[in-house]
Amino acid sequence: MFRKVLLVLAFLSFGAFVAFAGGGSDSEVYTINFATNQPASHVVGPAYQGLVDELNEKGGGRIKATAYFSEQLGNEKEMVDMIANDMNDILGSPGPSALAIYFPTLGLFDAPYIFRSPEHALAFANGPASEEMWNKMAEETNIRVLGTYYFGTRHLTCNNIDVMTPGDLNGFKLRVIDSEISIATGRALGASPTPLAYGELYLGLQQGVVDGQENPLANIIAMKFYEVQNRLVLTGHVTAVVCFAMPESKWQALPDDIKDIVQTAVDNAVVAASNAISDSEESMLEELQGYGMKVVTPDIDSFRANAQNVIDEFSPRWMPGIVDVIESVEV
């Protein structure tokens, strides 16, 4: 049971947080729009909706919260940009790479094989080892991460190729997140990385714009990628985490009692989402096999050998010594 994990929750507010001025009297109502690129049917959908429901319930009329699923308020990059510029309330981002545009150190969460296990990733992300990182990010970017959860392990899907080593992906157009480290990771896997918006990925696979993609099992199921891909290759190259975050300026403007309600709701959502993912991974694998996907277990060491090149390339952009800190974290 995972207690916390990395998720990026950006507080989306087209006029949200009514009455930020004035110090927060009991009569003020705070509008909180929760945005995510995931559909409500995703395995973490109930945790997201639960966060919003808890805000409304515990707010006692002082909070008006609404959930917007499936990129209703913009794609991943647009939603993150809106948080950094005080235009959002809370965002559930698919991963820290989208935040790394503003704070490069967060790219470490998308570095291949940097974490030994989900437990290792969470022990770092939610423990004292990462506190300085989160505070520095809030100060420099106006993005405050309120909590993190385990989002699953990223695996590769393709058609008709039993991928065993990076050499099997030569010339393979692999959809990746539009970030430098995700593109570098795609190359380390042996593929030709091709950035494509998450909402366009199903059609891109169907039409051959890309040959395959990499995502946690929950995403593969939620987006029905099994309908257009027949191989699941268990590369396990990234231990995915997602953050709940909001604009630092808006967080600091909230009265303490509203802060407590928001933080508690996020903490509960972190636990619910983490448990939903971790408890269902085995059944999700069986579900994908039931849809006709062939599961391939590749030579992990051959992929891991290429991963160090990515870490060596990007770690100079991160906070000094952070890789050593990660390696020293005990589980």
Q: What local confidence, expressed as pLDDT, does residue 21 receive?
A: 37
Residues of the chain with pLDDT under 70: 1-25, 93-94
Q: How far is it, in rounded angstroms, from Cα 324 to Cα 331?
A: 15
Q: Which of 17, 81, 9, 99 is nearest to 51 (CA)?
A: 9
**Segments in 2-88 forming alpha helices (H):** 45-59, 76-84
How far, in Å, are 6, 44, 67, 147, 291 from residue 124 at the CA level?
Answer: 10, 22, 29, 12, 35
Q: What local confidence, expressed as pLDDT, does residue 12 receive?
A: 36
Model pTM?
A: 0.81
Specify the DSSP class assigned to residue 260: H
**Segments in the chain forming alpha helices (H):** 45-59, 76-84, 118-125, 131-141, 180-188, 201-207, 217-222, 248-253, 256-290, 300-314, 322-328
Per DSSP bridges, beta strands 89-93 and 192-195 are unpaired
Contact 265, 11 (CB under 8 A): no
Q: What local confidence, expressed as pLDDT, does residue 25 receive?
A: 59
Q: What local confidence, expressed as pLDDT, does residue 93 receive?
A: 67
Q: What local confidence, expressed as pLDDT, does residue 24 receive?
A: 53
Q: What local confidence, expressed as pLDDT, does residue 89 receive?
A: 83
**Mutual angle of helices 45-59 and 256-290, in 10-degree steps:** 160
Q: What local confidence, expressed as pLDDT, does residue 288 receive?
A: 98
- With 0-12 / 13-18 / 19 or more C-beta atoms within 10 angstroms meaning exposed / middle / buried, residue 56 is middle
How far, in Å, are 14, 113, 158, 188, 257 from residue 193 at the CA level?
Answer: 34, 18, 14, 10, 46
Q: What local confidence, expressed as pLDDT, does residue 22 receive?
A: 39
In the CATH hierarchy, which fold is given to the domain comprising 8-95+110-318? D-Maltodextrin-Binding Protein; domain 2 (3.40.190)
CA 90, 93, 98, 99 torsion-angle sign: positive
Query: Helix (H, G, I), strand (E, B), or coil: what is residue 293?
Result: coil
